[in-house]
Amino acid sequence: MLDFDVQRCTRRCAATEVPLEPGDAYYSVLLAEGADVVRRDFAKSAWQGPPEGALGWWAAQVPADENAKPKLAPSEVALELFDRWRDQPEHADATYVLALLLVRKRVFRFSDSPFTEQASPEEQLQLFCPTRAAEYEVPVVEVTPQRADEIQQRLIELLYDNQ
């Protein structure tokens, strides 16, 4: 069996030189040129079938931009969600996960000292929000892996732009 080094999609139609955009359907073909195997990509509209002597061909679609990362909604949106969930006991685990996300995004910081003199029966995250100049105590909640996946999916739906 022979191995070939096949280049990646050029993202440009070999027939028209028109760029192939994310989501565009295209065809690729492998051709023998001397001792080399070369790849040519064709826009769907320019495809007329595989050329004579083609080693192989296939249809594909240009993937979404690999460098594009989902963007987090503005911090104030995440803080509003935090405020809404914080007062709802049924969202205690989601509030905890969201608080950790806000720490990771540097919207919240861990506080160096407790805010109250009272001892709490449960462990609390002591957080400070520089934007609001506000202090928060968030109960530490054990989250199962399955529930963590559910919360993560919900946060992606609510807070991230996946375009």
**pLDDT tens readout for residues 149-161:** 899 888 888 887 5
Query: Model-level pTM?
Result: 0.56
**For residue 113, what pLDDT band results from cuts at 50, 70 and 90?**
low
Question: What's the confidence (pLDDT) of residue 139?
Answer: 94
Smallest CA-to-CA distance from 137 within 122, 147, 146, 127 is with 127
Question: What's the confidence (pLDDT) of residue 158?
Answer: 84
DSSP secondary structure code for residue 9 in this structure = P
Question: What's the confidence (pLDDT) of residue 163?
Answer: 44
**Per-residue pLDDT at 130 exceeds 70:** yes
Residues 15 and 29: their CA atoms lie apart, in Å, by 12
Name the strand (E) or helix (H) holding 29. strand 25-33
Q: What is the mean pLDDT of residues 5-14?
A: 83
Question: What's the confidence (pLDDT) of residue 73?
Answer: 81
55-72 residue pLDDT tens: 888 998 988 766 666 677
Q: At what angle do helices 92-104 and 145-159 cross, to 10 degrees?
A: 60
Question: SS in 3 state form for 128-153?
Answer: EECCCCEEEEEECCCCCHHHHHHHHH
Rg (alpha carbons) of the chain, rounded to whole number: 26
DSSP secondary structure code for residue 19 in this structure = B
